[in-house]
């Protein structure tokens, strides 16, 4: 998935650890757009041409993706790949993966409503459309790994892939990276609860196109980076898939829509650093976490 995974267990065996990592590698083989042999890459390759058979796991994450896309009115869109991969080439700066040069034409290829899912088959209805699950896939893999560990009797641990973390059982300190300098801007603990934490920031991946720098969290209808935030950290009870997708969506929504979304989704806690450095955190965030502290 173009990043690092980490598992910490306070009980169990090496076999438990190996099984969890194997699960994540298996899911990477389905969802990764970096792997040209993945199921997702095959869907992209045959867009506008052929229906592709898919596994139960890829079907599940695509169905959740479409549901979140509808819920967020397209702020999160799994078909963003024509922009992220085909136009900007995030994570592929040294390759020749970029396929498109006309931004206005590429934007027409981003529309979750043109992703057809039926039984275990998927089809992108326009040639050139591309799936990119970078805004949900890591959270999904974290959930599946935690689910496997729990089935094996593990009650204390954590699983993380890049900015997506799920902690359960043990009381752990979680640090929120400062988006503009070394160190951390805040810290809190999970109080032993099963919490999912997902951070989206404008500092992770950047590319230059036409002499201008863009970060990887794009506003689908505009086709360029969202600029209202430096970082968004979401906290939810035991659902890294949604925490991952929602943090991406809120970043793309912009300030006003994001705050309104949080007011209407009382299961989502948020810690936000706005573009001007201002900080916001909602009541649900304070309810879910413990020992919350801002650093100087």
228 and 276 belong to one structural domain: yes
Domain interval for residue 33: 5-124
Neighbours of 157 (CB within 10 A): 24
The pLDDT score that the predictor gives to residue 1 is 60
CATH number at residue 188: 3.10.520.10
The pLDDT score that the predictor gives to residue 296 is 66
The pLDDT score that the predictor gives to residue 34 is 85
| Tens digit of each residue's pLDDT (9 = 90 or more) over 140-176 | 999 999 999 999 999 999 999 988 999 999 999 999 9
The pLDDT score that the predictor gives to residue 226 is 79
218 and 168 belong to one structural domain: yes
20 and 99 belong to one structural domain: yes
Token reading at 134: 């970078």
Out of 14-18, 70-74, 198-202, 243-247, pick the least confident.
198-202
Could you say which of 71, 98, 124 is where a domain stops?
124
Is the model's pLDDT at 192 over the cut of 70?
A: yes
Residue 259 CA to chain centroid, in angstroms? 19
pTM: 0.93
99 occurs within a structural domain: yes
Overall number of domains in the chain? 2
* Residue of higher predicted confidence among 221 and 75: 75
Where b means 16+ CB within 10 Å and e means fewer, 166-195 reads bbbbbebebebbbbeeeeebbebbbeebeb
Is the model's pLDDT at 3 over the cut of 80?
A: no
* Residue of higher predicted confidence among 211 and 257: 257
289 occurs within a structural domain: yes
Could you say which of 75, 101, 124 is where a domain stops?
124
């Amino acid at each position: 998935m173009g990043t690092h995974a980490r598992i910490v267990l306070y009980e169990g065996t090496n076999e438990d650890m190996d099984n969890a990592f194997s699960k994540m590698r298996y899911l990477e083989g389905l969802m990764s757009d970096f792997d040209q042999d993945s199921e997702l890459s095959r869907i992209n390759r045959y867009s506008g041409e052929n229906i592709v058979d898919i596994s139960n796991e890829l079907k599940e994450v695509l169905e959740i993706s479409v549901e979140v896309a509808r819920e967020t009115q397209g702020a999160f869109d799994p078909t963003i790949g024509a922009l992220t991969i085909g136009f900007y080439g995030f994570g592929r700066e040294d390759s020749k993966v970029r396929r498109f040069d006309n931004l206005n034409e590429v934007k027409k290829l981003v529309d979750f409503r043109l992703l057809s899912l039926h039984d275990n088959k998927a089809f992108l209805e326009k040639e050139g459309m591309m799936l990119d699950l970078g805004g949900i896939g890591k959270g999904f893999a974290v959930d599946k790994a935690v689910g496997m560990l729990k089935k094996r009797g593990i009650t204390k641990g954590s699983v993380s892939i890049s900015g997506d973390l799920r902690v359960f059982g043990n009381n752990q300190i979680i640090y929120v990276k400062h988006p503009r300098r070394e160190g951390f801007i805040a810290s809190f603990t999970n109080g032993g609860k099963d919490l999912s934490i997902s951070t989206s920031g404008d500092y992770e991946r950047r590319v230059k196109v036409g002499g201008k720098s863009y970060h990887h969290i794009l506003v689908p209808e505009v086709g360029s980076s969202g600029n209202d935030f430096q970082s968004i950290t979401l906290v939810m009870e035991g659902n890294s898939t949604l925490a991952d997708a929602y943090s991406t969506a809120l970043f793309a929504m912009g300030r006003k829509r994001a705050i309104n979304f949080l007011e209407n989704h009382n299961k989502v806690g948020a810690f936000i650093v706005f573009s001007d450095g201002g900080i916001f955190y909602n009541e649900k965030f304070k309810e879910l976490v413990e020992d919350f502290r801002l650093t100087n």
